[in-house]
Amino acid sequence: MYDIMENVPEKTVKCLDLGFVTLVDVMPRLVPEDRKTADFAIVQAARVSYGDGTKTVNEDRGLIRYLMRHSHSTPLEMVEFKFHMKLPIFCARQIIRHRMVSVNEYSGRYSVMKDEFYFPDVNNLRLQSKTNKQGGDDKIEVDTAKDFLAYLDEACIKSYQTYTDYLDKGITREQARMILPLNLYTEWYWKIDLHNLFHFLGLRCDSHAQWETRVFAEAILSLIQPIVPVAVEAWNDYHDHRGAVKVTKLEMDAINRTFAGQTVKALDSDNKREQAEWIVKAARMGLVAE
Active site residues: 204
In the complex, the smallest distance separating the C-beta of residue 13 from a copy of itself, rounded to whole angstroms, is 18
Measured distance CA(198)–CA(221) in Å, rounded: 9
**What is the rounded distance in angstroms from the CA atom of residue 183 to the CA atom of residue 239?**
32
Per-residue contact track with a copy of itself, 50 to 79, x per CB under 8 A? Answer: xx----------x--xx--x-x--xx-xx-
CA neighbor of 42 nearest in space, from 56, 23, 61: 61
Task: Candidates 10-18, 124-132, 218-226: pick the segment binding a copy of itself (CB under 8 A).
Answer: 124-132
φ and ψ at 28, to 5 degrees? -75, 140
Measure Cα distances from 279 to 262, 265, 267, 272, 275 in Å: 15, 9, 9, 11, 6
Of 187-216, binders to a copy of itself (CB under 8 A) are 187-189, 191, 193, 203, 210, 212
Looking at the Cβ atoms of 115 and 240, the one nearer to a copy of itself is 240
Q: How far apart are the first and last CA of the chain?
A: 60
The CB-of-15 to a copy of itself minimum distance in angstroms stands at 15
Q: 216-235 mask for a copy of itself (x: CB under 8 A)?
A: --------------------
Nearer to a copy of itself, 13 or 79 (CB): 79
Cα separation, 19 vs 8, whole angstroms? 19
Binding residues for a copy of itself, rule CB under 8 A, total: 121
Query: Least distance to a copy of itself from the beta carbon of 285, Å?
Result: 5
